[in-house]
Copies of this chain bind each other. A is one copy, B any other.
Amino acid sequence: MSLPIDAGLLAAHNERLRREVQADYDHLGAQLARRGIDLERVRAQVAAFGVAIPSWGVGTGGTRFARFPGPGEPRHVFDKLQDCGVIQQLARATPTVSLHIPWDQCSDWSELRGAAGALGLGFDAINSNTFSDQKGQAHSYKFGSLTHTDAATRAQAVEHNLECIEIGQAIGSKALTVWIGDGSNFPGQQHFRRAFERYLDSSRQIYAALPDDWRMMLEHKICEPAFYSTVIQDWGSSFMAASLLGPKAQCLVDLGHHAPNVNIELIVARLIAAGKLAGFHFNDSKYGDDDLDAGSVSPYRLFLVFNELVAAAHEGVAFDPAYMLDQSHNVTDPIESLMTSAVQVQRSFAQALLVDRAALDAAQEANDAMTATHLLKAAFQTDVTPLLQRVRLDAGGAVDPVAAYRASGYRARMAEARPAVAGGGGGIV
């Protein structure tokens, strides 16, 4: 199997750093042993962890004001897959890719599946798109899709989701993620209850077409593109809808889709309790749906989310959340951002594994807030970098993925291989 980055270059990179990694790893092991933690056991869990790459994430993102593409932008799904291959080769934490239809439309899904396999990649959830119009589309989504007042438009949106399920089956997906932009910009524009009823009605048709081993992941969002109201505005509406649809419908949590100040880890706990946690779209945000790199602004919040997940697993709660990055890379090389973000997510998971659960239980039971919070902080403050480096080394990745990537000259090669697409976006103010 020929991976995008030269194996020799990668080996040389690792060789230079291997001894330091081992020394740091050994010291970390000794420190953790004093705290009663077996680093080897943690390593096995971290090694098994993976987060999906969104196919659209490897292209440069933008805002309604402008998009500033970088060199070597991927031109189609095969280019995107190749970039994902680089990410997985170097960071070894992203074994799957999540496609978006119609952006990733392709004439031969079997060929695509083969190409992915050759890169060591599989496919995660498939994403439908009824928030923008495609050329030649019979009905516009300007005023909604699954919740449109017009039955034919709703039928078209349902039909698109059914097509996504079919594509997903062709490539080995096991879940459909449904995010809609439906909502309103003016008080009175939309009848709230009727729109929700139409959402349920459309979703039931999609749900009915789900294979038995699939999940339907409902993604809520407080605003944007609709700016007065959205139909699935928060986890409450998402939970209500998922409950009415049935056991295969669950709620997806995107970290940037909440009102200011909202305690996201608490929502995660509620959804776990209800058996309705579908999974995550990881990113970070300071102001809204900023789609910044995961953990780049609020790393402790990301850790606290994983703390809920690890606690639930520790207690034997049966659940299986899907992990995906969902970011907009406007000022960085998307490959660098995605590798770094995957490692950040992995870091949060690793740190959450270091929490002394028995001591935490005891402190919580005794209302010893100081000890309880210290136990979380002790885990978070632990520098697990050597652990993550070791996991990558073990798996054939790079000790320092960004450095190895830069050294490889991949982007410059792509800049030559992929002629620049004309301009991009902007003017939508």
Q: Kindly state whether residue A247 has any CB partner on chain B within 8 Å.
A: no
Question: Which of A85-93, A204-212, A254-262 has 4 or more CB atoms under 8 Å from chain B?
Answer: A254-262
Across the interface, which residues of B come within 8 angstroms of A301, CB to CB?
Answer: 298
Roughly how many angstroms separate A161 CA and B257 CA in the complex, as a whole number? 37
Roughly how many angstroms separate A381 CA and B344 CA in the complex, as a whole number? 11
Asked if B65 and A62 make an inter-chain contact with CB atoms under 8 angstroms apart, the answer reads: no
How close is A239's CB to chain B, nearest CB, in angstroms? 6
Q: Kindly state whether residue A124 has any CB partner on chain B within 8 Å.
A: no
Question: Which of A164-172, A331-339, A390-398 has 4 or more CB atoms under 8 Å from chain B?
Answer: A331-339
A63 closest partner in B (C-beta): B225
Roughly how many angstroms separate A337 CA and B374 CA in the complex, as a whole number? 11
Asked if A285 and B331 make an inter-chain contact with CB atoms under 8 angstroms apart, the answer reads: no
A367 closest partner in B (C-beta): B143
Q: Kindly state whether residue A419 has any CB partner on chain B within 8 Å.
A: no
Asked if B332 and A369 make an inter-chain contact with CB atoms under 8 angstroms apart, the answer reads: yes
Asked if A225 and B66 make an inter-chain contact with CB atoms under 8 angstroms apart, the answer reads: yes
Roughly how many angstroms separate A299 CA and B385 CA in the complex, as a whole number? 18
Across the interface, which residues of B come within 8 angstroms of A320, CB to CB?
Answer: none
Given A227-B287, A373-B187, A367:B312 Cβ within 8 A: no
Across the interface, which residues of B come within 8 angstroms of A300, CB to CB?
Answer: 187, 297-300
Roughly how many angstroms separate A194 CA and B357 CA in the complex, as a whole number? 14
Q: Please encode chain A, from 224 to 237, with 1 for each CB lying within 8 Å of some chain B CB and 0 for all others.
A: 11011100011111
Q: Kindly state whether residue A48 has any CB partner on chain B within 8 Å.
A: no
Q: Kindly state whether residue A270 has any CB partner on chain B within 8 Å.
A: yes
Roughly how many angstroms separate A189 CA and B234 CA in the complex, as a whole number? 25
Across the interface, which residues of B come within 8 angstroms of A190, CB to CB?
Answer: 364
Asked if A103 and B140 make an inter-chain contact with CB atoms under 8 angstroms apart, the answer reads: no
Q: Kindly state whether residue A269 has any CB partner on chain B within 8 Å.
A: yes
Q: Kindly state whether residue A76 has any CB partner on chain B within 8 Å.
A: no
Given A185-B369, A193-B272, A227-B292, A132:B337 Cβ within 8 A: no
Q: Kindly state whether residue A142 has any CB partner on chain B within 8 Å.
A: yes
A225 closest partner in B (C-beta): B63
Q: Kindly state whether residue A196 has any CB partner on chain B within 8 Å.
A: yes
Roughly how many angstroms separate A197 CA and B315 CA in the complex, as a whole number? 15
Q: Kindly state whether residue A360 has any CB partner on chain B within 8 Å.
A: yes
How close is A260's CB to chain B, nearest CB, in angstroms? 4
Q: Return the contact of A187 from the options B191, B193, B273, B297 (Cβ within 8 A).
A: B297
Across the interface, which residues of B come within 8 angstroms of A367, CB to CB?
Answer: 142-144, 149, 189, 331
Q: Kindly state whether residue A118 has any CB partner on chain B within 8 Å.
A: no
Question: Which of A8-16, A105-113, A410-418, A420-428 has 4 or more CB atoms under 8 Å from chain B?
Answer: A420-428
Roughly how many angstroms separate A328 CA and B332 CA in the complex, as a whole number? 28
How close is A179's CB to chain B, nearest CB, in angstroms? 10
Which A residues, 69 to 83, have Cβ-Cβ distances below 8 Å to chain B? none
Across the interface, which residues of B come within 8 angstroms of A291, CB to CB?
Answer: 227, 429
Asked if A186 and B373 make an inter-chain contact with CB atoms under 8 angstroms apart, the answer reads: yes
Q: Kindly state whether residue A372 has any CB partner on chain B within 8 Å.
A: yes
Roughly how many angstroms separate A192 CA and B269 CA in the complex, as a whole number? 6
Known: A62-B225, A370-B402. 15 other contacts (CB 8 A): A56-B429, A61-B428, A66-B181, A68-B140, A149-B365, A187-B265, A188-B364, A197-B273, A225-B330, A228-B290, A236-B267, A263-B286, A288-B288, A332-B369, A374-B402
Ranked nearest first, the 10 interchain pairs of A and B with the lowest CB-CB distance are A236-B236, A66-B132, A192-B269, A68-B142, A259-B259, A227-B290, A186-B373, A63-B225, A143-B367, A132-B426
Task: List A residues at the B interface (Cβ < 8 Å).
Answer: 20, 23-24, 27, 30-31, 34, 56, 61-68, 103, 131-133, 135, 140-144, 149, 181, 184-194, 196-197, 222-225, 227-229, 233-237, 239-240, 258-263, 265-267, 269-270, 272-274, 285-288, 290-293, 296-301, 304, 307-308, 311-312, 328, 330-333, 336-337, 340, 347, 360-361, 363-367, 369-370, 372-377, 380-383, 385, 402, 423-429
